[in-house]
Amino acid sequence: KKGQVLVDVDAAEALSGYKQSEAGLSAADVYLQNMERDYERFKRLYEERAITKHQLEQMEAGLAQARAQKEQAKANLEMSKTLLSYGKIYSPTDGIVTKKWMEEGNIAAPGMPILTIENPSSLELSVEVPEEKAEKIAPSSKAKIFSSDEENFKESKVLTVVKTADLLSKTSTIKIEVDPKDFKVGQFAKVRFDALGGETLSVEKSSIKKEGQVEMVFVRDSGGKISLRIIRSGRREGDFAQVLSGLSEGESVVLNPSDSMKDGDILEVSND
């Protein structure tokens, strides 16, 4: 649960410092009380002309110093209290501890993980994008997440765009909303951002024939003649496949070509 104590760190040194700060504050408080009483006594003596003004001013300076020492002791105690609080590590969110990075007796140091906590009800996908492309992506813009192949994807949206780029990789981090029903913690996926998409040439997947690694389509010209084209396809979405090479815009492609169709055939189009 959020706020639950997960780890107790041996904070003997911090505890010792806290007790010393407590004692220091108590001593400063006692000293201030004594100085306040002495100051009242010196003030009466001055009014009775029993001491000089210089002696009263010295007492006033001592009282101011005692007050400053008490304030410093308070600050020291607050600092010690903060350091002591680091001895307990609390859960930042509801979730499940999925990994222990350290065992009892290990020495903890700044920057070293101790536990991994996963919240399966709230997931997001982080993507590193070249900074020049990240500038074109805005929060709430659409994105497609591909978990296994180019045909199966989930629609999603961008949550945040970290504009500050990594100096070494020259990339910015994009965080995308993820439905926990569709993805697991730690799963890798491909992402396509609608904001980075341009116009592409595509054909229906049913028009593509494959022989080994070779992809082909049949193209019909204005006279009905069929010609065989070797193409190279790209990403696939729904019923369509992107064509990277081998076709030009406006050409007529035969859907569901028969096994007997070959280059040079004449394909008549029925007007029924």
Last residue of a domain, which of 130, 164, 196? 196
Tell me the pTM.
Answer: 0.40
Q: Do residues 31 and 54 share a domain?
A: yes
Q: Do residues 180 and 236 share a domain?
A: no
pLDDT higher than threshold 60 for residue 182:
yes
What is the token pair recorded at 6?
């997960």
Q: Do residues 31 and 81 share a domain?
A: yes
Whole domain around residue 80: which residue ranges?
9-89
Cross-strand partners of 49: none
Over the stretch 24-36, which tens digit does the pLDDT of each residue have? 999 999 999 999 9
How far apart (Å, rounded) are the C-alpha atoms in residues 73 and 79? Answer: 10
pLDDT higher than threshold 60 for residue 121:
yes
Q: In the chain, which ranges are continuous DSSP H helix?
A: 12-47, 53-85, 131-134
CATH code: domain of residue 246: 2.40.420.20
pLDDT at 103: 77
* Phi, psi (deg, nearest 5) at residue 89: -110, 125
Report residue 216's pLDDT band, with 50, 70 and 90 as the boundaries.
very high
Q: Do residues 189 and 211 share a domain?
A: no
Number of domains in the chain: 3
* Phi, psi (deg, nearest 5) at residue 168: -85, -50
Q: Do residues 22 and 52 share a domain?
A: yes
Q: Do residues 173 and 206 share a domain?
A: no
Q: Do residues 188 and 214 share a domain?
A: no
Q: Is residue 231 part of a domain?
A: yes
How far apart (Å, rounded) are the C-alpha atoms in residues 164 and 166? Answer: 7
Beta-carbon contacts of residue 20 (< 8 Å; ≥ 6 apart)? 80
Q: Is residue 182 part of a domain?
A: yes
CB 47: neighbour CB atoms within 10 A?
A: 10
pLDDT at 55: 92
Q: Is residue 265 part of a domain?
A: no
CATH code: domain of residue 186: 2.40.30.170
Report residue 54's pLDDT band, with 50, 70 and 90 as the boundaries.
very high
